[in-house]
């Protein structure tokens, strides 16, 4: 039996066909391939079958005694996992097109060779599997973007619920939102959550990290440009304000933009219109603007780096995310939440945080906030030995002040002492790994640069990474 034919073994197939001879031959052919076949001669019989059980595939004739077979597709009686193959009279192209539009997986033009059936159904099965994998990937991606609300963020959660409730009552143009928080607290994740749970969820979500944008490109990136506006403008280009119309535009680290660009953003907010660089035409734009900052904007205003009028325009709805060090009680539950996604991504099971590990997580100040916690969890999963995560490298997180004769360049704190032997005893291999990952973090994951920081050959770093 070929691979295609074997794929039909034990598959449940419903044949909806009123012509006795064709129905009999189809059933015999499919049963010969190992499929389990149920037959129906009319729309009503098919509905009865579909009410009592689900099928992997359905072979649906268009012309039935009590109506058009496509009515079954229109009425949605097939479960999403059922692949429907429509059988049409030869030359029925319009019917085939209509069937595909209604959700049919494929079609067969009568008369057809029975050997085509396993090929058609096999291709349908592969397409369904690919679709399931894509749906699963999107689900996991969405879950990984979810914002975690612990007890320390209960007030923020209630505040956000009020904003989303107000958004649901607005017909158009929801007000801007300003998100404040230290680096790594989850400002981008929260901005996406606001979008996906608001009235503009079906629209685009466009994100820009303003701190990574060269000043001479900022205006073109945000508002677009016309052909010939500057040397490299070989064609017209849409800006992000246009691209996000009908959706959300998220500008992270907005204080990084120059006052001149800030002025143009203010104008766009007040008029809902922009003008491309080098253009004269005003273009209507309707994005919901969400901005974020890790700086104190009031101080930036006093220093003259941020416009006060723009601040008052953006500060209509403000969300402040406190750092992890101010809510240590949330850290263990947040770690479990993040760890679940990491384990799923690495396809690892039966790995949990030990009680000692939880204490270390709570005591550590997490200067990098949620991002640092996520990286520490992922690193620990990759290097894990046994079924628990202990985070021994966080044991000495609160280093004592420098002692007499010690310089700030001394990599080993003079006040540090080796711990007592035992479960939490010193591990030289773990210390080496910690130094290597510290160097990789500082070198932006560049192995060669990390090796230079450590004073070792690049091959040594590669060897250690492969070893672990």
Longest dimension (CA), the chain: 99
pLDDT at site 51: 87
CA angle 340, 344, 347 (to 5 degrees): 135
pTM as predicted? 0.58
As a whole-number percent, the residues of the chain with pLDDT over 90 amount to 42
User: 14-42, pLDDT tens digit by residue?
Assistant: 999 988 998 898 898 888 888 889 999 99
List the domain boundaries for the chain. Answer: 3-140, 152-322
Residue 415's pLDDT is 59
Residue 106, strand partner residues: 85
pLDDT class of 412 with cuts at 50, 70, 90: low
Q: Report whether pLDDT(416) > 60.
A: yes
**Residue 163 confidence (pLDDT) above 70:** yes
Fold of 152-322: Rossmann fold (3.40.50)
In this predicted structure, the answer to whether residue 258 has a pLDDT above a threshold of 90 is: yes
Average pLDDT over residues 384-400: 72
Answer yes or no: same fold for 3-140 and 152-322: yes
Residue 397 pLDDT > 50, yes or no? Answer: no
pLDDT > 50? residue 402: no
Domain at 3-140: CATH code: 3.40.50.2300
Average pLDDT over residues 369-388: 90
| pLDDT band, very low/low/confident/very high, at 189 (cuts 50, 70, 90) | very high
């Amino acid at each position: 039996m070929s691979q295609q034919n074997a794929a039909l073994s034990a598959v449940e197939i419903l044949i909806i066909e009123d012509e006795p001879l064709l129905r009999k031959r189809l059933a015999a052919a499919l049963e010969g391939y190992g499929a389990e076949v149920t037959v129906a001669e009319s729309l009503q019989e098919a509905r009865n079958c579909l009410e009592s059980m689900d099928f992997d595939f359905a072979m649906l004739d268009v012309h039935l005694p009590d109506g058009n077979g496509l009515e079954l597709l229109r009425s949605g009686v097939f479960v999403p996992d059922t692949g429907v193959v429509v059988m049409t009279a030869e030359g029925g192209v319009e019917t085939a097109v209509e069937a595909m539009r209604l959700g049919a997986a494929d079609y067969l033009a009568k008369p057809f060779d029975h050997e085509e059936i396993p090929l058609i159904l096999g291709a349908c099965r592969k397409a369904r599997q690919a679709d399931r994998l894509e749906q699963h990937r999107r689900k996991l991606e969405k879950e990984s973007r979810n914002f975690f609300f612990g007890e320390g963020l209960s007030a923020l959660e209630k505040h956000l619920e009020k904003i989303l409730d107000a958004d649901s009552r607005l017909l158009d143009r929801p007000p801007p939102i300003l998100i404040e928080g230290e680096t790594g607290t989850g400002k981008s994740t929260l901005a996406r959550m606001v979008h996906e749970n608001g009235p503009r969820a079906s629209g685009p979500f466009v994100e820009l990290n303003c701190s990574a944008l060269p000043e001479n490109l900022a205006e073109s990136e945000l508002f677009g440009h016309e052909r010939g506006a500057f040397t490299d403008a070989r064609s017209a280009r849409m800006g992000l304000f246009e691209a996000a119309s009908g959706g959300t535009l998220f500008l992270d680290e907005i204080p990084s933009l120059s006052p001149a660009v800030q002025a143009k953003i203010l104008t766009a907010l007040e008029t809902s219109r922009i003008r491309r660089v080098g253009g004269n035409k005003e273009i209507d734009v309707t994005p919901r603007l969400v901005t974020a900052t890790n700086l104190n904007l009031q101080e930036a205003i006093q220093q003259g780096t941020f416009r006060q009028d723009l601040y008052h325009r953006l500060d209509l709805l403000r969300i402040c995310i406190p750092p992890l060090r101010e809510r240590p009680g949330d850290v263990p539950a947040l770690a479990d939440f993040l760890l679940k996604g990491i384990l799923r991504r690495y396809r690892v099971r039966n790995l949990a945080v030990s009680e000692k590990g939880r204490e270390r997580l709570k005591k550590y100040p997490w200067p990098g906030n949620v991002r640092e916690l996520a990286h520490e969890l992922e690193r620990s999963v990759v290097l894990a030995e046994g079924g628990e995560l202990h985070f021994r490298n966080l044991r000495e997180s609160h280093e004592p002040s420098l002692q007499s004769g010690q310089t700030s360049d001394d990599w080993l704190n003079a006040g540090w002492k080796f711990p007592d032997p035992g479960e939490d005893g010193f591990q030289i291999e773990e210390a080496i790994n910690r130094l290597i990952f510290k160097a990789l973090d500082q070198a932006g994951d560049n192995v060669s640069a990390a090796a230079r920081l450590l004073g070792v050959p690049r091959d040594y770093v590669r060897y250690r990474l492969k070893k672990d």
